[in-house]
Chains A and B, each alone.
Chain A
Amino acid sequence: MSQTIAAEKKNASFVGILRQYMMLLILAVIIVFFQIVTDGKMLNPMNVSNVIFQNAYVVILACGMLLCILTGGNIDLSVGSVVAVVSACAGTFIISWKWNPYLSMLLCLLISIGIGMFQGFWIAYCRIPPFIMTLVGMLFFRGLTLRILNGMTLAPFPQGLLKFSTGFVFAGDPLGGLLGGADGAKLFGLRNVTCFATGVLLAAAYVAITFVGYSSRKRKGYSVEGFLGLLIRTLIVCAAIIALFYLLAGYRGVPTVLVTLGVILLVYSFLTTNTVMGRHLYALGGNEKAARLSGVKTKRMMFLAYTNMSFLAGVAALVFSARLNSAAPQTGSGFEMDAIAACFIGGASAYGGVGTIGGALVGGLIMGILNNGMSIMGLKTDTQQMIKPLVLLAAVALDVIPKQRVLDPLLDRIRLRKRVNVSA
């Protein structure tokens, strides 16, 4: 008896770990699948850069959307329209009015924060359901975009600005130059040694932080996780970082937008896991009344979540319009759905209180790589559009079904039949 319990426990924890990393595993499977069917085009250095350029905005939006979803399964439908309106503002300021691009970008971000505060005010303090308020925002800001742009597309942005979103860091490969002359022999046959070195440095920094933290906690007598598990996890993360930068080094280096994205991911995962604000956000989604009675300023958290969402929509707008090199009336339509899908594929709960930035990133990547891979394969848009939502369904079903135990009665019956057979 006790043996079976122990075995079951071990089993359960194994399944738990598997479920936790399920989406990561699926992402890996998808990448390998496309790598094989596209004859290696998937992980071609240029394509890797492309995937990053194409999907940066989705992941940025998903970070903001995750916070909204955490507050209780609330979504923000206005995201696409806010992207459009901010992009239209940027276009007008920089292209039509020829304002200083940097000040204009700052102003655009302030505008997006203003939009967020407006929506957040109605949602948090006047208790307008988020779905309705952001539906209002979605329709209104789309209209406003048309008004600002007069229905026309503004293009192109000045060159200096574009390097922020389509440029590369260390494009000149200063380190490579130092080592082997301007275009001399490159290390490991890489085009951009600096990029690869950056990756190695990042991996080393990760290892250092992890193990310093581990030993200091151990010294102070705090409980620590198993060393082997830690080692394996660190190895996987380092391998992923180095592999990514190796691939990027084979093309033109680190895309600028990857830096923006990296900073946003770091900031928001720190915010959600290590700050009081993050904890309060989860508490609000877990049980609003209990959170309020525990001293969580629930209204303010709601307000901040929606303000932040629009702020990130502003960031995404700048990244996206610079990439397209234009501000168009239909910019950003459907972005909200991409962001929402990324969060849910990444394991966020539709009832709030559950979800991680890492999950949203993985969700965004799964969507992005599906898009990219299917395009390389030459699948038609209609097929692509049908496959993506089915992936969302599959991901959520994988998450929900095991919890609801819908299969249990069936399994019970099978078990019973077995037992009868054995006794007979």
Chain B
Amino acid sequence: MLELLSMQSITKEFPGVRALSGVNLAVREGDIHGVVGENGAGKSTLMNILSGIYPYGSYEGRFFFSGEECRFHSIADSERKGIVIIHQELALVPYLSIAENMFLGNEQSSRGVIRWDDTYRKAEEHLRTVGLMENTHTLIKDIGVGKQQLVEIAKALTKNVKLLILDEPTSSLNERDAHKLLDMLLDFKRTRGITSIIISHKLNEIAYVSDRITVLRDGMTIETLEKDKDDITENRIIHGMVGRDMSQRYPSRKPCVRNDVALRASHWNVYHPLFTEKKLVDDVSINVRRGEVVGMYGLIGAGRTELAMSIFGRAYGAHITGELMKDGKPVELTSIPKAIKTGFAYITEDRKQDGLILPFSILRNLTLASMQSVSSHGVIDADLERTGAADTKERLNVKAPNIEQQAGNLSGGNQQKVLLGKWVFAKPDILMLDEPTRGVDVGAKYEIYKIINELAEQGKAILLISSELPEILGMCDRVYVMHEGRLIAEYQTSEATQERIMSDILATEREKSAAETA
């Protein structure tokens, strides 16, 4: 098969760091090519060079596309060749319609005047190709993240794409939508001959969809694995990524579940803060014991985050009703400061948007939720704060030269550790972790799991919200399954399997549609 793209000994340096050293990447025409590596391995840097974000001259080495050498100076240059990149953070404008977004920067116009009929007709065509049945006049803000992802892909199709690069395309999708997306890529490959590069942390997806897989580590190409020729199981890929076997993805924990129930929420109801007739959590009752890690699984929109946030000092939602008990005593958490004081912690799923204060140092992020422990009468004891923060940084193994580093400059895994550290430092009794390992590489994941285990062993009650079933099954003692605001199942992890949980959800879906048709 022909080589569509060939990147040869690419080297890129940033002040003080060598992000890539002599990376080679060859992508064959009509392939789906997976690129994997831990955070900081250089995947994004490589793609930024390929798409012209880092212009020709800012790196060493050469690359060829369809046999021609490329010297891109901007994204426009690479798009002209048919190379389109879809970033993890979608680049759509929320208050423009689907069609307007699809032709943004590529407007269907004659002499500067937009031809709206053409725009909407073509948009509709491409939208149907990706299997999206939305009206092209709908505003982007009114459709979910999964559909937005499809709009991005449809947008790429309008540009006559030859090479489609997807950076973590499924990180914010639920399992079903993720699967749909991957199948669509396979379909594009078969029917349209579109070559794609896919970057992902989800190795099962990479293994499912890729023809060849290139593994990067520390800015170097480690190996390229080929389907049907090499073993491309997850464990094999991980071996390449971390340079050693990770026989155990989930660290073991001494059984430490105690008898006393730390958190009990009964008949909990939450309504949408704006559309107050919409019920997001419907009569949910849960409990978590001390020393227990309880999983909370569900598809996107199941109401897990809403449940946790409404418990956490009513941080979200309206008309919250239900009874809350901590260590057997009823508590009334009317504000977030009160919830923190009572010993609750909620660790947000979006560390950049809601979790960390990126311009703050590690130090200031770590102590923010528990200022009263490092101050008296409102005056901060700078030395106490410093030692406390340095101690927490060591304990959580945050990889940074010192605690004065800005949180915004850390890698995803380290940011997540700082976020976790902030709440470890607050010494809560009950921790609600919302997707604590999203977008974090394998090595950092393992360390986060170890921290969770430690916390459980100290007798903390942990509610682990996750969209990754293997993680739930690997880490939890017990698991709740939520679907569309309701609790639909509860298992001891020893009895649960991925199949059983998924079939529970599907059964509920079927019942619902049966009830609707009836």
Which residues of A line the B interface, CB within 8 A?
Answer: 1, 5, 8-9, 12, 217, 220, 222-223, 274-277, 279-280, 282-283, 286-287, 289-297, 353-354, 408-409, 412-413, 415-416
Q: Are B315 and A292 in contact (CB under 8 A)?
A: yes
B70 at the A/B interface (Cβ < 8 Å)? Answer: no
Residue of A nearest to B338 (CB): A295
A-B contact pairs, 15 of them (CB 8 A): A217-B383, A222-B383, A222-B386, A274-B380, A275-B378, A276-B380, A280-B371, A286-B357, A286-B359, A286-B360, A291-B368, A294-B340, A294-B369, A295-B369, A415-B57
Give how many A-B residue pairs fall within 8 Å (CB-CB). 94
Q: A279-B364, A293-B336, A296-B368 are in contact. Are A409 and B55 (CB under 8 A)?
A: yes
Which of B17, B348, B371 has the largest number of chain A CB atoms within 10 A?
B371
Q: Are B368 and A289 in contact (CB under 8 A)?
A: no
Residue numbers in B under 8 Å from A5 (CB-CB): 16-17
B372 at the A/B interface (Cβ < 8 Å)? Answer: yes
Residue numbers in A under 8 Å from B380 (CB-CB): 274-276, 279
Residue of A nearest to B401 (CB): A9
Q: Are A295 and B386 in contact (CB under 8 A)?
A: no
Q: A276-B378, A295-B340 are in contact. Are A12 and B16 (CB under 8 A)?
A: yes
A12 CA / B15 CA spacing, docked (Å): 9
Shortest distance between the CB of B92 and any CB in chain A (Å): 21
Identify 19 new A-B residue pairs, CB closer than 8 A, beyond the known A282-B360, A286-B358, A291-B368. A5-B17, A12-B16, A222-B386, A274-B379, A275-B375, A275-B380, A276-B380, A277-B378, A287-B354, A290-B357, A291-B357, A293-B348, A293-B354, A293-B355, A294-B422, A295-B336, A353-B360, A409-B55, A412-B57
Shortest distance between the CB of B48 and any CB in chain A (Å): 13
A393 CA / B346 CA spacing, docked (Å): 43
Q: Are B57 and A223 in contact (CB under 8 A)?
A: no
Interface residues of B in 345-381 (CB under 8 A from A): 346, 348, 353-360, 364, 368-369, 371-372, 375, 378-380
Residue of B nearest to A349 (CB): B359
Q: Are A9 and B58 in contact (CB under 8 A)?
A: no
Interface residues of B in 310-342 (CB under 8 A from A): 312, 315, 335-337, 339-340
Q: Are B15 and A8 in contact (CB under 8 A)?
A: yes
6 tightest Cβ-Cβ pairs between the two chains A and B: A286-B357, A416-B57, A294-B369, A412-B58, A276-B371, A295-B340
Q: Are A290 and B356 in contact (CB under 8 A)?
A: yes
Q: Are B368 and A294 in contact (CB under 8 A)?
A: yes
A292 CA / B312 CA spacing, docked (Å): 12
Q: Are A283 and B360 in contact (CB under 8 A)?
A: yes
Q: How many B residues are at the interface, by size bracket?
A: 35 or more
Which of A12, A277, A283, A293 has the largest number of chain B CB atoms within 10 A?
A293
B274 at the A/B interface (Cβ < 8 Å)? Answer: no
The 0/1 profile, CB within 8 Å of A marked 1, for residues 22-64 of chain B is: 0000000000000000000000000000000001011000000
Chain A interface SS verdict (over half)? helix
Q: Which of B17, B359, B382 contacts A274 (CB 8 A)?
A: B382
Interface residues of B in 150-188 (CB under 8 A from A): none
Residue of A nearest to B340 (CB): A295
A255 CA / B354 CA spacing, docked (Å): 48
Residue numbers in B under 8 Å from A274 (CB-CB): 379-380, 382
B204 at the A/B interface (Cβ < 8 Å)? Answer: no
Shortest distance between the CB of A11 and any CB in chain B (Å): 9
Q: Are A293 and B359 in contact (CB under 8 A)?
A: no
B508 at the A/B interface (Cβ < 8 Å)? Answer: no
Shortest distance between the CB of A7 and any CB in chain B (Å): 10
B233 at the A/B interface (Cβ < 8 Å)? Answer: no
Residue numbers in B under 8 Å from A12 (CB-CB): 15-16
Residue of B nearest to A1 (CB): B18
B387 at the A/B interface (Cβ < 8 Å)? Answer: yes
Q: A8-B16, A12-B16 are in contact. Are A289 and B359 (CB under 8 A)?
A: no
Residue numbers in A under 8 Å from B337 (CB-CB): 295, 297
A223 CA / B390 CA spacing, docked (Å): 11
A290 CA / B315 CA spacing, docked (Å): 11
Q: Which of A275, A289, A297 contacts B353 (CB 8 A)?
A: A289
Shortest distance between the CB of A256 and any CB in chain B (Å): 29
A253 CA / B499 CA spacing, docked (Å): 85
Q: Are B57 and A413 in contact (CB under 8 A)?
A: yes
Q: Are A220 and B383 in contact (CB under 8 A)?
A: yes
A295 CA / B17 CA spacing, docked (Å): 37
Residue numbers in A under 8 Å from B312 (CB-CB): 293
A222 CA / B385 CA spacing, docked (Å): 11
Q: Are A9 and B16 in contact (CB under 8 A)?
A: yes
Residue numbers in B under 8 Å from A294 (CB-CB): 336, 340, 368-369, 422
Residue numbers in B under 8 Å from A1 (CB-CB): 18
Q: Which of B18, B360, B372, B386 contacts A276 (CB 8 A)?
A: B372
A353 CA / B371 CA spacing, docked (Å): 18
Shortest distance between the CB of A6 and any CB in chain B (Å): 9
A353 CA / B358 CA spacing, docked (Å): 10
Shortest distance between the CB of B14 and any CB in chain A (Å): 10
A277 CA / B358 CA spacing, docked (Å): 19
Residue of A nearest to B372 (CB): A276
Q: Are B354 and A279 in contact (CB under 8 A)?
A: no
Residue of B nearest to A413 (CB): B57
A15 CA / B377 CA spacing, docked (Å): 38
Q: Are A287 and B358 in contact (CB under 8 A)?
A: yes
A233 CA / B335 CA spacing, docked (Å): 44
Shortest distance between the CB of B395 and any CB in chain A (Å): 18
Residue numbers in A under 8 Å from B354 (CB-CB): 287, 289-290, 293
Shortest distance between the CB of B72 and any CB in chain A (Å): 12
Residue numbers in A under 8 Å from B340 (CB-CB): 294-295
Residue numbers in B under 8 Å from A292 (CB-CB): 315, 336
Residue numbers in B under 8 Å from A282 (CB-CB): 360, 364
Shortest distance between the CB of B414 and any CB in chain A (Å): 16
A413 CA / B58 CA spacing, docked (Å): 8
Shortest distance between the CB of B387 and any CB in chain A (Å): 7
Shortest distance between the CB of A226 and any CB in chain B (Å): 14
Q: Are B383 and A276 in contact (CB under 8 A)?
A: no
Residue numbers in A under 8 Å from B57 (CB-CB): 412-413, 415-416
Q: Are A409 and B58 in contact (CB under 8 A)?
A: yes
Residue numbers in B under 8 Å from A297 (CB-CB): 335, 337
A297 CA / B338 CA spacing, docked (Å): 11
Residue numbers in A under 8 Å from B371 (CB-CB): 276, 279-280
A182 CA / B135 CA spacing, docked (Å): 92
A291 CA / B369 CA spacing, docked (Å): 8
Interface residues of B in 129-160 (CB under 8 A from A): none
Q: Which of A8, A289, A293, A409 contacts B346 (CB 8 A)?
A: A293
Shortest distance between the CB of B341 and any CB in chain A (Å): 8
Shortest distance between the CB of B178 and any CB in chain A (Å): 26
A286 CA / B337 CA spacing, docked (Å): 19
Residue numbers in B under 8 Å from A413 (CB-CB): 57
Shortest distance between the CB of A230 and any CB in chain B (Å): 15
Residue numbers in A under 8 Å from B382 (CB-CB): 274
A315 CA / B240 CA spacing, docked (Å): 67
Q: A223-B386, A294-B368 are in contact. Are A283 and B336 (CB under 8 A)?
A: no
A297 CA / B340 CA spacing, docked (Å): 12
A297 CA / B356 CA spacing, docked (Å): 16
Residue numbers in B under 8 Å from A287 (CB-CB): 353-354, 356-358
A282 CA / B355 CA spacing, docked (Å): 15
Q: A286-B358, A287-B358 are in contact. Are A412 and B55 (CB under 8 A)?
A: yes
A294 CA / B418 CA spacing, docked (Å): 13
Q: Are B368 and A283 in contact (CB under 8 A)?
A: yes
A286 CA / B407 CA spacing, docked (Å): 11
Shortest distance between the CB of A424 and any CB in chain B (Å): 16
Residue of B nearest to A7 (CB): B16
The 0/1 profile, CB within 8 Å of A marked 1, for residues 441-460 of chain B is: 00000000000000000000
Which of A1, A283, A290, A412 has the largest number of chain B CB atoms within 10 A?
A290
Which of B340, B364, B375, B383 has the largest number of chain A CB atoms within 10 A?
B383
Q: Are A279 and B368 in contact (CB under 8 A)?
A: yes
Residue of A nearest to B419 (CB): A290
